[in-house]
């Protein structure tokens, strides 16, 4: 018996990296999984590789009309959404003095507005059914300051705050909302640090970076009924970096 048997899950940013790891684990645990992204070729290949329980949908998380269409389509096809993982996000190494308005607006649109729209569109549908779990992917940059990642850090703090507010609003409706805060994970985002990667690894008390699967297993716990009394809190996966 899988830990997500009978559940329908929507994972944004699921074409690669952390989202793909979450999709694979959720499918293995019995969920019907919808992954969304703007990377259509990668997303379709990922869904095909994971089998018939995984479907890919094109989806720009910054677009409220696309959110409505995706949510309505999944509900029409399956009857409801049990799990939402707001995973889609972007990262940029740039300090506050060099952050342009274009940098800022793009970061906010995807990392912050995308999460808000997911909370609104899927949250209201979960509320109407009286059940659901929403997992927002933040970062350790949402737990403390992050030099040379000003806009990114700002959006990840926002995700943390939105998580708590939504958890309070939805608590009496049977909908749980939590945030996951990864540290240094082996995904394509890490490549942006370039030659600073060895120095970053040296700062990790556990002495290594994490795999995407290690984060996915925490997300799985929050998606499952095993976390039935957990809502409004941060779950940090960082090898003790913020300890």
| Segment 2-33, tens digit of pLDDT | 999 999 999 999 999 999 999 999 999 999 99
Write down the residue that tokens 């699967």 correspond to.
Answer: 213
The better pLDDT of the pair 197, 71 is held by 71
pLDDT for res 192: 66
pLDDT of 190 reads 65
Q: Confidence class of residue 199 from pLDDT cuts 50, 70 and 90?
A: confident
CB 215 within 8 A of CB 161: no
CATH class of 8-237: alpha beta
d(CA 170, CA 108): 24
**pLDDT for res 186:** 83
Q: Which residue ranges make up each domain of the chain?
A: 8-237
> pLDDT digit string (tens) for 129-140?
999 999 999 999
Tokens of 63: 């677009």
In degrees, rounded to 5, the angle at the alpha carbon of residue 168 between the alpha carbons of residues 217 and 221 is 10
Rounded Cα distance, 82 and 9, in Å: 6
Active-site residue flag, 229:
no
Q: 34, 56, 152, 229: which is the annotated catalytic residue?
A: 152
* Nearest CA-CA partner of 37 in 128, 114, 107: 114
DSSP string computed for 4-42:
TTT-EEEEET-SSHHHHHHHHHHHHTT-EEEEEES-HHH
């Amino acid at each position: 018996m899988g830990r997500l048997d009978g559940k329908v899950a929507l994972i944004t940013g699921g074409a690669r990296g952390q989202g793909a790891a979450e999709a694979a684990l959720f499918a293995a645990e019995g969920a019907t999984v919808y992954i969304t992204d703007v990377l259509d070729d990668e997303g379709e290949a990922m869904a095909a590789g994971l089998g018939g329980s995984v479907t890919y949908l094109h989806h720009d998380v910054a677009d409220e009309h696309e959110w409505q269409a995706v949510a309505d389509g999944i509900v029409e096809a399956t009857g409801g959404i049990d799990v939402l993982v707001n995973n889609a996000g972007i990262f940029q190494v740039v300090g506050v003095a060099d952050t342009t308005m274009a940098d800022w607006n793009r970061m906010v649109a995807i990392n912050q507005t995308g999460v808000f729209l997911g909370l609104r569109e899927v949250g209201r549908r979960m509320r109407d059914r009286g059940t659901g779990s929403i997992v927002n992917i933040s970062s350790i940059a949402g737990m403390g300051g992050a030099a040379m990642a000003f806009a990114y850090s700002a959006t990840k703090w926002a995700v943390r705050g939105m998580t708590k507010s939504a958890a309070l609003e939805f608590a009496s409706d049977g909908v749980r909302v939590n945030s996951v805060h990864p540290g240094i994970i082996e995904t394509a985002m890490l490549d942006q640090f370039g030659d600073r990667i060895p120095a970053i690894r040296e700062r990790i008390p556990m002495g290594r970076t994490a795999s995407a699967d290690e984060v996915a297993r925490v997300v799985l716990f929050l998606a499952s009924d095993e976390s039935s009394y957990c809502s409004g809190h941060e779950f940090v996966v960082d090898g003790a970096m913020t300890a």
